[in-house]
Structure 1
Amino acid sequence: MVSRPALPPVAQESTPALIARVLREAIADGRFPPGSQLVEQELARELGVSRGPLREAMQRLTQEGLLVGRRNRGLFVMELTEDAVRDMYLAREAVECAAVRRIGATGAGPRAAEALAVPLARMRAAAPDPNGREISEADLHFHELLVELSGSPRLLNMHGTLLTQIRMSLTGMQGTYGSADARIREHVEIVEALGAQDADRAETLLRAHMQDGLERLLDR
């Protein structure tokens, strides 16, 4: 038997990582709106944690760009300014379009279309509330799954770093839909193009879908 260095023990999620996850979720769903201040003393009391791991968690979120430090004032949730929104959509479009091209290149379009029918069905089920949480979560799942189906760990990792900002943008779009029809139709057309092995059309439709989202955020 070939000798090798022993593997390290599997570590449980650290307290700072748990705190960061809770704060990330609260930022994503709007409990801490863009531009709001996170007060360390209040958060430590509310979460029932000491300030050391809380500071470490907040530092993580600062490195991710979700929190922004203001000199002599503290930490604030990033604001969805026009520049920030445009830059986020630039990165998101690059990753998701690359995923579509990869799916097309590997001939996985029909399989991807079948898998994407699941979040699409969730969107249809949530259609009576076009600006609700359920349809937004199904929308997010659709795009996460699209990137996952590319089979590229690096694309998935890059998309993962954008997820909280994407969720913030979906929360920001609430109230901009009169009905769910157009939102669902855009996703249906992308799925149909993938199923037909037409990755070029799927990419064109995805770019148009991204442009619609960008405009909704900037016009809100």
Structure 2
Amino acid sequence: MTSFIEPLAQESTPSIIADKLRQAISHGELKPGAQLGEADLARKLGVSRGPLREGMQRLTQEGLLVSIRNRGLFVIDMTPDDVRDMYLAREAIERAAARRIADGDHEAAGKELLAIVEQMAAAEGDPAAVSELDIAFHERLVQLAGSPRLSRMHATSITETRMCIHALAETYTLSEARIGEHKALAEAIAAGDYLLADDLLMAHMDDAITRLTNR
């Protein structure tokens, strides 16, 4: 397993530290509910506690960490209500991205997304690889909108999505329709059919919520 908690290769900054911790959370190295110890993290990252505290504060503001009085700082737990709320935010961001793409070079965007779908199909049988490509598809979808603000907002919800997938991998990977859902969405985007893409996105998000909350 790749470790994201390791000495930094460049000058330490709160932003770099926050990114390292965000990756560790999203890939399950720092698990939901885990307590963060300053001394241990500072040692593993090779940084002083000042920048570390600033980096952790950024993740607290993003909602990925929570401070509990007289206990310390913890990675959030994703309850079913949290999952639903997170997907509500993701849905809003990705629908906005799809609308922006439809007004631009939607054919090229669709081809890029279809290329990721092809990788997903080739990786079928490797649930971890398919899950990462699933995430890559949605990250690229938002990037293709060319909106830095949408991408920034999307980054936190994608981290939370990864947390859910790692914590509930068996439930999440049961669906056999995942690749087909992504293919249909990419084709709708390539065709510039925003209304269809919008409907497919909402259905896709609803399906993910059902799988991750088992409801």
TM-score of Structure 1 vs Structure 2, range by shorter chain: 0.7 to 0.9
Tell me the distance in 1 between the aligned counterparts of 2:24 and 2:121: 26
Residues 110 and 186, structure 2, Cα contact 8 Å, conserved in 1: yes
Distance 2:80 2:174 in 1: 25
Q: Any stretches of 5+ residues in structure 2 without a counterpart?
A: 1-9
Relative to the length of structure 1, the TM-score reads: 0.85
1:44 to 35, 42, 45: 42
The Cα shift of 1:69 comes to 0.5
Return the letter of the residue paired with 1:114: K
Q: Does 1:122 align with 2:119?
A: yes
The answer on whether the counterparts of 1:38 and 1:76 sit within 8 Å (CA) in structure 2 is yes
Is 1:65 matched up with 2:63?
yes
CA shift, 1:35, in A, is 1.0
| Aligned-residue offset at 1:47 | 2.5
Per-residue Cα deviation, 1:22-48 (whole angstroms, up to 9, x for no partner): 211110001111111111122222333
Q: Which residue of 1 aligns with 2:5?
A: none
The match for 2:194 among 195, 199, 204 is 199
RMSD, matched Cα: 2.0
Q: Find the residue that maps to 1:150 and give its secondary structure.
A: coil
1:74 Cα offset (Å): 0.2
Give % identity. 56
- What is the CA-CA distance between 1:180 and the residue it aligns to? 6.6
Cα distance in 1 for partners of 2:191, 2:18 equals: 41
State the match for 1:82 in structure 2.
80
Deviations 1:65-110 (A, max 9, x none): 1100011000010110122211111110001011112222x15332
- TM-score of the superposed pair, with normalisation by structure 2: 0.86
Cα distance in 2 for partners of 1:25, 1:94 equals 23
Q: 1:157 deviation in Å?
A: 2.7
**Number of corresponding residues:** 206
- Whole-Å separation in 1 of the counterparts to 2:207 and 2:46: 41
Task: Tell me if structure 1 keeps the 8 A contact 2:120–2:179.
Answer: yes
Q: 4+ runs of 1 displaced by more than 6 Å?
A: none
Q: Any conservation in 2 of the 1:136–1:171 contact (CA below 8 Å)?
A: no
Aligned with 1:167 (options 155, 162, 171): 162
How far the C-alpha of 1:116 sits from its partner, in A, is 0.7
The CA deviation at 1:160 is: 2.7
Aligned to 1:76, the other structure's residue is in SS state strand
Q: 1:26 aligns with which of 20, 24, 27?
A: 24
Q: Distance in 1 between matches of 2:11 and 2:95?
A: 33
Give the alignment partner of residue 152 of structure 1, picking from 125, 147, 150.
Answer: 147
Structure 1 gaps, min length 5: 1-11
Separation in structure 1 between the aligned mates of residue 80 and residue 111 of structure 2, nearest angstrom:
36
Q: Does 1:213 align with 2:211?
A: no
Shift, 1:173, TM fit: 4.1
Classify the secondary structure of the residue corresponding to 2:177: helix
For 2:144 and 2:48, locate their aligned partners in 1 and report how far apart those are by CA, in whole Å.
40
| SS of corresponding position for 1:128 | coil
Aligned to 2:106: 109
The alpha-carbon deviation at position 13 of structure 1 amounts to: 6.0
Rg larger for: 1
Q: CA deviation at 1:18?
A: 2.3
Kept in 2, the 8 Å contact 1:68–1:78? The answer is yes
